A and B are shown apart, each in its own frame.
Chain A
Amino acid sequence: MAGTQDVALSVKDLKTYFYTNNRCNKAVNGVSFEIRKGKTLCIVGESGCGKSVTASTIMQLLPKLSRIEQGQITYHSDDGDVNIEQLDRDGKEMRAIRGSEIAMIFQDPMTALNPVYTIGFQIGESLKYHTDLSRSEIRAKTIDLLRDMGISLPEMRVDDYPHSYSGGMRQRAMIAMAMSCNPKILIADEPTTALDVTIQSQIFELMEKLKTENETAIMLITHDMGVVAELADDVAVMYMGNIVEAGTVDQVLRYPVHPYTRALLESIPVLGRGRDQDIQPIAGSTPDPYDRPKGCQFAPRCKFRVDACDVMPDEVTYNETHRVMCWRYQEFLPDAE
């Protein structure tokens, strides 16, 4: 584990449950991870595995019918540690962190911006609440931010409404908004899913630049393994509310030890290999969150299932940074093969 001074945020044994129709969905069921300063942590997994819920839990942006059941979210700020899970959801302390210390960008920039206010107004709002800048200083800073994000003619575009921006520009504007107060942590929830591929790479370049220039820690949620390989420093693979495998990008992508990670990597088509390439889809589908398997959540779909899998395996940290939740991980270790 890295020393605490390098860590921007640590999450320990976090459980977030949703309560609907008197049933409980254990969306996030005991996850632990750390986001390092100036590094990118990618969280990958199928739809519904709890990636986005984890992100909203950190920001306390959960819907009303859900709550943090257990665990700690510790934000290591410059003025000491803050335990986010203990803060009032929309209280003053939480609001002071949101947007200023931890900022977030969302999946769909088309809907994430308010259609009736100008881009400048919406970026300025953050500055208005988190800084002491005057009106004209806010405007100047907003224009600077837009220029930094690569928007041409920012002096004019600042007064435009979101509908006259393209998708890529809106996401840039969202990033400008998120970065306006120099947050220590940027949470990006599938920021390019709604954009096309050329724009995607531009957005990622921008995020990479911010990371190196401002030492911002980035938590990137994605289901695109290509993005992971390109951007991540650390990777956590989630399945049904658990992190089944986590480690540095090299460890997880090169030497995956969890059957789910391996299956995930085998199921990706590779561009250029032609149409007859050997793609192995993962058999079955994700279980109903209200009717979960008893032990290991992946067991029913797993090729390596044994009887021991009826009991949930513990998380094993088998070397300094690489950890896994599987009974048979030893068989997949790089030196075992």
Chain B
Amino acid sequence: MLTYVIRRILILIPMLLTISFLVYTALELTPGDAVSALINPEVASRLSDAQFAELREAYGLNKPFIVRYGIWLSNVMQGNFGHSLAGGVPISTIFLDRLPATLELSLVALLFSTVLGCILGTYSALKRGSITDSSLTVVGMIGVSIPEFFFGLVALLIFALNLGWLPVGGRLLPGYETIWDRVPHIIMPAMVLSLMMTAGVMRYARSSMLDALTREFITTARSKGLPEWRINLLHGFRVALTPVIVLIGFRLPLLIGGSVIIEQVFQWPGIGNEFIGAVRGSDYPLVMMIALFSVFAVLMASLIIDVLTALIDPRVRLS
């Protein structure tokens, strides 16, 4: 088991290197650079080419592409993430500020969608063909097919503006500090963020469960005289769970990608919100670090999923 985990971690290194290079290249290809973004167009029109060149030199933007990539990479490996071009704040500080909020949102959404999706999907499978099953199928379809930001705006309109039950956005009001003060703020963004994933997990758990219930070991379990709940949950659901966990692993990137938009809609002070600002301001170093961090998060998530599947399904441990 330990060698399995170590091997999985070692595989991550070349992956991260490749992706960091791709991210750096992609950003290099975007039009405009930090200098043209930083400087007010009115001021820029009065600057001479020599002054531009001077500014580019100051920011290290005139060196060849590969060299800049090399410098950047070696800095990152030494833990020096560089500074944001806008304002000169160290990127590590930005991460420390913003990361907890994003993790909080993603984890709550992940937990919520997994638990709710599994419960609803299993229930749906057990009551196959009932009205509840059919309505859940319809709700699931709607959930999968409508984009999150739309749900976000509708939820804001209904629950925050019309009903006034929940705050419009933000993470915490000034002067409030307890956990319970945070709850009303996180409910809406987390629900909206997890909606699509809940629907997906639900549909998948349903079909996986239906599949498991037709397997022969279910008949064996029944022939032993076990009660129905034990047959369904211990024998059926346990086997149905493995593919569901793999699906959740594949969906994790969606959660991270989705949180960029949802953070914007709900003014959630997380990494995603910062990311949009950085892209708009052509803040290269920050965009790269956030992109790289997202990649890292996705790879870590897939590692966790692999370990989890190995724990749940004894057959995986062998290979």
A residues lining the B interface (CB < 8 Å): 59, 61, 90, 94-100, 103-104, 106, 108, 111-117, 125-126, 129-130, 161, 163, 174, 177
Report whether A99 and B224 are in contact in the complex, using a CB–CB cutoff of 8 Å. yes
Q: A112-B217, A115-B239, A116-B313 are in contact. Are A163 and B225 (CB under 8 A)?
A: no
Chain B residue numbers with a CB within 8 Å of A125 are: 221, 224, 226, 230
Chain B residue numbers with a CB within 8 Å of A106 are: 216, 219-220
Q: A61-B219, A108-B216, A111-B215 are in contact. Are A116 and B238 (CB under 8 A)?
A: yes
Give CA–CA (A161, B315) in the complex, Å. 8
Q: Per a CB cutoff under 8 Å, which of A95, A99, A116, A174 touches B314?
A: A116
Chain B residue numbers with a CB within 8 Å of A130 are: 225
Give CA–CA (A97, B222) in the complex, Å. 11
Chain A residue numbers with a CB within 8 Å of B238 are: 114, 116-117
Q: Per a CB cutoff under 8 Å, which of A100, A112, A115 touches B225?
A: A100
Q: A161-B314, A161-B315, A163-B315 are in contact. Are A90 and B228 (CB under 8 A)?
A: yes
Report whether B217 and A111 are in contact in the complex, using a CB–CB cutoff of 8 Å. yes
Is B227 located at the chain interface by the 8 A CB criterion? yes
Q: What number of B residues sit within 8 Å (CB to CB) of A?
A: 23
Q: Per a CB cutoff under 8 Å, which of B220, B226, B239 touches A116?
A: B239
Q: How far is the CB of B50 from chain A (nearest CB, A)?
A: 71
Give CA–CA (A111, B235) in the complex, Å. 13
Q: How far is the CB of A238 from chain B (nearest CB, A)?
A: 21
Q: How far is the CB of A182 from chain B (nearest CB, A)?
A: 14
Chain A residue numbers with a CB within 8 Å of B220 are: 106, 112-114, 174, 177
Chain A residue numbers with a CB within 8 Å of B227 are: 95, 129
Chain B residue numbers with a CB within 8 Å of A94 are: 225
Q: Per a CB cutoff under 8 Å, which of B225, B228, B312, B315 touches A126?
A: B225
Give CA–CA (A59, B312) in the complex, Å. 31
Q: How far is the CB of A126 from chain B (nearest CB, A)?
A: 5
Q: A95-B227, A114-B221, A177-B224 are in contact. Are A163 and B216 (CB under 8 A)?
A: no
Instruction: Report 9 cross-chain contacts, Cβ distance below 8 Å, ordered by A residue.
Output: A104-B223, A114-B217, A114-B238, A115-B313, A116-B312, A116-B314, A161-B314, A163-B314, A163-B315
Q: Per a CB cutoff under 8 Å, which of A61, A97, A103, A114 touches B239?
A: A114
Q: How far is the CB of A160 from chain B (nearest CB, A)?
A: 9
Give CA–CA (A108, B230) in the complex, Å. 22
Q: Per a CB cutoff under 8 Å, which of B223, B228, B314 touches A115?
A: B314
Give CA–CA (A116, B315) in the complex, Å. 8
Residue of A nearest to B236 (CB): A114
Q: How far is the CB of A38 from chain B (nearest CB, A)?
A: 22
Residue of A nearest to B222 (CB): A61
Is B318 located at the chain interface by the 8 A CB criterion? yes
Known: A106-B216, A116-B314. 20 other contacts (CB 8 A): A59-B223, A61-B219, A95-B225, A97-B225, A99-B224, A99-B225, A99-B226, A113-B217, A113-B220, A114-B217, A114-B221, A114-B239, A115-B239, A115-B313, A115-B314, A116-B239, A161-B315, A174-B220, A177-B220, A177-B224
Q: How far is the CB of B256 from chain A (nearest CB, A)?
A: 30
Report whether A115 and B315 are in contact in the complex, using a CB–CB cutoff of 8 Å. yes
Q: How far is the CB of A287 from chain B (nearest CB, A)?
A: 28
In this complex, the member of A108, A114, A161 whose beta carbon has the largest number of chain B beta carbons within 10 angstroms is A114
In this complex, the member of B220, B238, B242, B318 whose beta carbon has the largest number of chain A beta carbons within 10 angstroms is B220
Chain A residue numbers with a CB within 8 Å of B235 are: 114, 117
Q: How far is the CB of A134 from chain B (nearest CB, A)?
A: 19
Report whether A112 and B216 are in contact in the complex, using a CB–CB cutoff of 8 Å. yes
Chain B residue numbers with a CB within 8 Å of A112 are: 216-217, 219-220
Give CA–CA (A59, B238) in the complex, Å. 25
What are the 5 closest A-B residue pairs judged by CB atoms, nearest first?
Answer: A98-B225, A99-B225, A99-B224, A114-B217, A111-B216
Chain A residue numbers with a CB within 8 Å of B239 are: 114-116
Q: How far is the CB of B234 from chain A (nearest CB, A)?
A: 8
Q: How far is the CB of A230 from chain B (nearest CB, A)?
A: 26
Chain B residue numbers with a CB within 8 Å of A115 are: 217, 239, 313-315
Report whether A163 and B318 are in contact in the complex, using a CB–CB cutoff of 8 Å. yes
Q: A90-B228, A114-B239, A163-B315 are in contact. Are A98 and B216 (CB under 8 A)?
A: no
Interface residues of B in 164-189 (CB under 8 A from A): none
Q: How far is the CB of B238 from chain A (nearest CB, A)?
A: 6
Interface residues of B in 223-276 (CB under 8 A from A): 223-228, 230, 235, 238-239, 242
Report whether B226 and A129 are in contact in the complex, using a CB–CB cutoff of 8 Å. yes
Give CA–CA (A59, B215) in the complex, Å. 17
Q: How far is the CB of B305 from chain A (nearest CB, A)?
A: 17
Chain A residue numbers with a CB within 8 Å of B315 are: 115, 161, 163
Q: How far is the CB of A98 from chain B (nearest CB, A)?
A: 4
Residue of A nearest to B238 (CB): A116
Residue of B nearest to A56 (CB): B219
Residue of B nearest to A123 (CB): B224
In this complex, the member of B221, B222, B225, B315 whose beta carbon has the largest number of chain A beta carbons within 10 angstroms is B225
Report whether B314 and A98 are in contact in the complex, using a CB–CB cutoff of 8 Å. no
Chain A residue numbers with a CB within 8 Å of B221 are: 114, 125
Residue of A nearest to B214 (CB): A63
Give CA–CA (A97, B230) in the complex, Å. 17
Give CA–CA (A90, B215) in the complex, Å. 18
Q: How far is the CB of A88 from chain B (nearest CB, A)?
A: 11
In this complex, the member of B223, B227, B238 whose beta carbon has the largest number of chain A beta carbons within 10 angstroms is B223
In this complex, the member of B219, B227, B235, B312 whose beta carbon has the largest number of chain A beta carbons within 10 angstroms is B219
Chain A residue numbers with a CB within 8 Å of B216 are: 106, 108, 111-112
